[in-house]
Amino acid sequence: MPDSIEKWDYFELTLNAHTSGNPFLDVTFEAEFTHQHRSLKVSGFYDGDNTFRVRFMPDVEGDWRYVTVSNLDALNGQTGEFICTPASKGNHGPVHVTNTFHFSYDDGTPYYPFGTTCYAWTHQGEALEEQTLKTLKEASFNKMRMCVFPKFYPFNENEPVYYPFERNAAGEHDFTRFNPEFFRHFEQRVGELCQMGIEADIIVFHPYDHWGYSRMDAESDYRYLRYLIARLAAYRNVWWSLANEYDFMLDRKPMEQWDEYFRILLAKDPYNHLRSIHNGDTEKNYDHTKVGVTHVCIQNWDTKQVKRWRRDYQKPIINDELEYEGDIVFPWGNISAREEVHRIWIMVTNGGYAGHGETYMHPQDILWWSKGGVLHGESWRRVAFLRKLMEEGPVGGLTPMEDSWVWTRVSGGKNGDYRLIYFGEHQPLSWIEGLPDSPDYEIDIIDTWEMTIRPGTRRIMKPFKAITGANPEPPRYELILPGKPFQAVRIRKR
């Protein structure tokens, strides 16, 4: 009886073969998986102890067959089959771009990214990593930005538990030999996020290290990326983020090298997982219009540029670093919780998405943004509130309202008859723009900080003289507002 694997889970073939020399360099190993007339080639990898593996994520139910191809006789020509069964509850498949600016799972379920950043959480040891997972279960994040390589930076200067490459007694790395134990641990955490419904936004390179990972030569970089794809691409919750702050590494990794990384992802990832790259300098964005880029991952505090980014790139926009709620010395890490929530609302109501981050001082330097642990701030609950509002709305994200000068100041998004208007720093006592004239609409006033929703009260507005002439404007409905900032209005057809 063939093995059975549910749709969008992964099948793993394990083979043993004795080798001489360096199996990471000398052995080629892949498998071709076939369903009816469709075939996909998948790279395998060496997992240490004379063990080779290949992983495959089936996306079609039914019978699948495979055959291996290798330059090592013991790995070549191995055949088998398995049955792909329907996906279980909660398994919606990988996330892809839909309707130009938004996302959905493979089964069509809409996906609204409300993620957070914990760059080095997988390098902190069992106790702290388990505490991070526990915190994630209590929060409402559905995406985690996380680095493969450990990080060396203020508030994060501890050595990792595992290193990604073999090291000699002097601590020198052999970039031609991976440490399978490191990658097994990392993929374990990716799998645990998957079981929690959290997308793993995997950052492949970053500039903050003192081990030499950011200064590997190009061939070592390409080999590492191919190995990472072979190990992780079969996990349905994987996203590829080529860099955190790529432009801070241009002195050692020129632009053509970044383009090559995208080409490798396109060639070696058979599942077409999401692909992005993240800038440091707000004026040095990568050219996100390039084919390899599926969505825009951006760092910029000025969230009111989101409509321009949509127009320029014609792809989904995620501002994954709009600065962090916290109190550290760096200005990027000491905005208030209210400001964090405010910026996220601007992004979402203008048709984009945003990521959460938290950087509060800690006596043991356990800051959520890098090491995880527990959340100390107040914005994360408001992020969960906004996520719930979005998921309760119509299917698909919002399109920014741009049909009058008003929407250059106030954020508003629409989806059919649905409207979500965010006033931000403005504090009107009444409002008329974007309100329907018909009584067949339900209007709610939302306090984005207090997380309250109450029915709105409308009245006929007293006519006033038009700006451009002496004739009065016709009567219109106006909505009575509380006259304080950070309020929003939700309009739905009954």
Helix (H, G, I), strand (E, B) or coil at 51: strand
Number of residues in the chain:
494
Q: Are residues 427 and 349 in the same domain?
A: no
DSSP states along 447-477: ETTTTEEEE-EEEEPPP-B-TTSSSBPPP-E
- Whether 90 maps to a domain, the answer reads no
Residues pairing with 411 in the sheet: 422
Angle at 147 between CA 141 and CA 150, to 5 degrees: 130
pLDDT at res. 467: 53
Q: Are residues 75 and 107 in the same domain?
A: no
Joined together, the tokens standing for residue 15 give 């083979």
Query: What number of CA atoms fall less than 13 Å from residue 448's CA on the CB side?
Result: 30
Q: Are residues 261 and 337 in the same domain?
A: yes
79-85 and 452-455 strand pairing:
unpaired
Cα separation, 444 vs 374, in Å, equals 33
Cα separation, 235 vs 199, in Å, equals 10
Q: Are residues 479 and 363 in the same domain?
A: no
Instruction: Name residues whose C-beta falls within 8 Å of residue 8's C-beta, 6 or more positions apart in sequence.
Output: 57, 58, 59, 87, 91, 92, 93, 94, 106, 236
Mean pLDDT of the chain: 95
Domain end call among 368, 392, 416: 392
Q: Are residues 247 and 386 in the same domain?
A: yes
- Whether 12 maps to a domain, the answer reads yes
Domain count along the chain:
3
- Whether 299 maps to a domain, the answer reads yes
Q: Are residues 112 and 52 in the same domain?
A: no
Q: What is the extent of the structural domain holding 11?
A: 3-85
Domain end call among 27, 52, 85: 85
pLDDT at res. 477: 78
Q: Are residues 330 and 181 in the same domain?
A: yes
Cα separation, 183 vs 233, in Å, equals 13
Q: Are residues 24 and 169 in the same domain?
A: no
pLDDT at res. 170: 86
Domain end call among 392, 422, 446: 392
Q: Are residues 240 and 289 in the same domain?
A: yes
Inter-CA distances, 13 with 16, 46, 78, Å:
10, 12, 10
Q: Are residues 259 and 346 in the same domain?
A: yes
For the chain, list residues with pLDDT below 70: 1, 462-475
Do residues 92 and 107 lie in contact, with contact meaning Cβ atoms separated by under 8 Å? yes
Q: Are residues 204 and 126 in the same domain?
A: yes
Q: Are residues 190 and 298 in the same domain?
A: yes
Give 128-160 as a 3 state SS string. Answer: HHHHHHHHHHHCCCCEEEEECCCCCECCECCCC
| pTM (two decimals) | 0.95
Cα separation, 134 vs 240, in Å, equals 24
- Domain CATH code at residue 256: 3.20.20.80
How many helices (H) does the chain have, and how many strands (E)?
Answer: 9, 32
